[in-house]
Amino acid sequence: MARRPLPRILSTGSAQIARSRELARTAADSATDVLQPLITITRGLRRLASAGRRRWAETPKDKRGPLLFLAASVILVVVLVPYGPLLAVITLMAAAAWQGRDRTPPDPEGPDESQTQRLQSLYEALVPYFSTAEDPSPLYAHGGEWEKAFPAYEFDGSGRITQLVIRYPAYFPDGEAEPRARVELLLTAKSGRGREYLFTWDEEGNELTVGVLDPLPTDIAAQRFVTAPGEAVLGFTDPIRVQRTLPLTYGAEQRDVPPVVWRTGARSTEPHLLVVGQPGSGTSTLLRSLALQALQYGDVLIVEGGGTGEYACLTGRDGVLGVEVGLAGALTGLEWAAQETERRLIAANQARQAGQTPPEDTRRPLWILLDRPTAFVPLAAADGREDPQSLLQVPLRHGRAASVTVVVAEQFDSLDLLSDAVRQHTRARVVLGPASAGRLAAVLGAPPHTTPVEQVPPGRGYARLGAGPVHRLQVPATPDPYDDATSEVQRQAVLELLPPRSTPADAAADALPVPVEAAVAE
């Protein structure tokens, strides 16, 4: 995935602030080390003074006179004794240093009893995976020492493992997917379910590092993202997976979050996208988010097979060519899209042969968003009409050269009904909602780098662009503003991004810019 640098004020400003904070932190640590004796003595003097005030307050008033006389006598004796003031200062400093010492109990060295039992149990569970009968000195053996196998470990407040380094023998087939998957599944079960773990295999050093990933933020609302034309933000991921951040607004606060940016257009290697998920997983939310981003620079045609009215807020808006929810409208709209793709290709080819710049209307991005297109398959078969997916072959095959982008959202149980053209040309993939590792690998083409969990928030999943790595993904919250269950903050965020409505809703179905020569009758 090509990454474009942010503007200088955004890219260098945060880096300079980070360097300044690091320098200030280093200087503060150095000053603390140098001034530590003075800090300790000052703390001790303060504690001695507090103890003296408490003792004076606790002394009855009739005994304060004799106490003052005793203190004055001691001071007089100290002054008259040779080297008395010097010895008194040394004694006072020693007492202050003793009183000002750090009384925080030191952290226990090594794990406690419960943590030791957990590590020993995990070690015993790994014995069948990391040992063979032919090994003369096995690293893993029943009743063996776990300290040699686990050189580093960390626990959270509840006693569960958060970081663990595992050494394994060189003969373990760490280059094969199945043995690694079995070990990862075991570690997930023994370390605590309900969390996402990151497994980093070091084949050269024969070490496996297990880490617990922080949950991705779910409070990112729809907003204008700082992207270039032709870039679309699918969602946000871990900072260790990408080298770019976007400034996002959280009310009055602003933070930099790493995004998953999808490059579309003529220079894209993955010009079309397939989104798969369960009902309620956020596939429609992602399509709405992409539609709002696409309307900044291009036109959008929406075909909804579910018929739930998820995109009614876009009807009649500037740049929205149509929101089709019926079979006839879907066939009409997709037939026009195929003809428009051919027209753009012919016009661009003629302009290049004449040595001229392609017309502006051929370079304006056209987005075709299809939500559950397989819902039209049984309807088309019952009416004796063609499958609307067959009209996607031209936009899918030649869409990159014609600035046409196709996004298809479908559910897991209907994947078998997708056409071969959709499967072949949608090399950018997104899976949302709970899914097993096998399902994720089947859709994305590669297993995820983390362990999927059973319960995830809406819009949570994985993304892979072509042959790139698999990213954890959280889609920005872009709900239907007409839904009663939508919060007022998120509703206003979506409404502010909608373009003005220039076409009446009743006439929006006839708003295609080029009439279709062979329109499908109702």
Residues that constitute the known binding site for ATP: 277-284
Distance CA 390, CA 387 (A): 6
Distance CA 276, CA 289 (A): 16
Contact 241, 471 (CB under 8 A): yes
Q: Is 194 exposed, middle or buried (0-12, 13-18, 19+ CB in 10 A)?
A: exposed
Contact 291, 314 (CB under 8 A): yes
> Residue 448 phi/psi, 5° resolution?
-70, 160
Kindly list the strands in the beta sheet with 273-277, ordered across the sheet, starting from the edge strand earlier in the chain: 259-263, 231-236, 470-474, 460-465, 428-432, 273-277, 404-411, 366-371, 299-304, 320-324
Secondary structure element (H or E) that encloses residue 404, with its range: strand 404-411
Contact 182, 137 (CB under 8 A): no
Contact 405, 365 (CB under 8 A): yes
Q: Packing angle between helix 64-80 and helix 84-99, nearest 10 degrees?
A: 120
Mention every residue, 6+ apart, whose C-beta is less than 8 A from residue 90. Answer: none
Give 205-228 as a DSSP string: TTEEEEEEPPPPP---B-------
Distance CA 48, CA 43 (A): 9
Contact 395, 426 (CB under 8 A): no
Q: Which amino acid is at 11?
A: S
